[in-house]
Each structure stands twice: as structure tokens, then as C-alpha cells.
A = this chain, B = another copy of it.
Amino acid sequence: MSKPSQQRPNTDQNGVSVSVIQTQAQSSGVQQVPQLVPVSPGGGGGGGGGGKAVPPSKMKKTHADKDTEEYRQRRERNNLAVKKSRMRSKQKAQDTQQRVNELKEENERLEAKIKLLSKELSVLKDLFLEHAHNLADNVQPQGPEAPAAGQNNNNNNNKRP
């Protein structure tokens, strides 16, 4: 969108069956001429490639027709796709990172809640224990029955021994 970047691949002008070295030293039309590798069928590097037998006579391979319009079109499409894919990938990573943050936050919240509940529970339990003791003290000497009305069972007592 911001970059036209449409330069014609100046290199290759050969309609011959050759491969352009692209490993390195081939970028621009520097003084160095693009290396041409003789595509010997069944010979050197070409053959091994994909595990597909290469007919000795013709080496159509995939479609290494440079300089054709179809090629350029395909390239451009692919470039677009690549860009899209990368954008997505990046976005996804970003989202994931954000998710981590959210989860961390929620985690803290939950832990705080747990702490609160635990405390509440502990208080209640203490209350229970205390009450049980009170009952035991009052009930034991008299008997398990006849709870006797006038008891000081005020359960609102809160003391810390």
C-alpha cells in the first residue's frame, strides 16, 4: 500500500534452461553477472530435488518461467498472501500475550477471593468451636436433657483467648 515496489527483474534474459543462482550474490545487476548453472538433466543438482524423476529431455519442473507475466502475477499474489499471513501471525502472538495478562489478572482476583473466603470460614469455625465449648460447659453438669431456659447462650460473643 505504501510501497509500489515494482521493479522488473532485470536479471535473466535467457530463455534457456538455466537456473539463476539465488543463494547469494545476485541481488542487483552489479558487475557480477548472474551465474548460470547448466541444467544438466539427471546430472548435477537438478535431479535430486524433489524425489521426482526428471525426464532427461525436458525440465519443466514446477514453472520456473521467469519474466513471464504469469510469473509476476503469481509472485505478487504470493507476496500478498505472505504479508497477510505474517500480519495474522503477529496479531495472534500479540493476542496471546494479552491473554496472558488477562489471565494473570483474573488469577489474582481469584486468589484474593479465596483468601477472603478462607478468612470468613475460619471465623465461623472459631465461632462454632467456641459455642460448642460453651454448651459443653453448661450442659455437662446438668444433663443432656432439659436445656434449662435461662442460659446465657449469647452467640454474639467474640473473644480471643
Contact = CB atoms under 8 A, between A and B. Distances in A.
Contact of A121 (B23, B120, B155): B120
B61 A17 contact: yes
Contacts of A39: 29, 31
Nearest to A30: B66
Given A43-B28, A46-B28, A125-B124, A7 B139 contact: no
Interface in A55-107: 59, 61, 64, 66-67, 72, 75, 93, 96-97, 99-100, 103-104, 106-107
Interface residues of A, number: 90
Contacts of A139: 149
Copies of this chain, how many? 2
Contact of A22 (B34, B40, B48, B59): B48
Nearest to A36: B33
A67 B156 contact: no
A161 interface: no
B143 A155 contact: no
A103 B51 CA distance: 41
Given A26-B48, A100-B96, A107-B110, A33 B31 contact: no
Contacts of A18: 19, 21-23, 45
A46 B66 CA distance: 14
Interface string A119-159: 01100110110011001001100110101011001011000
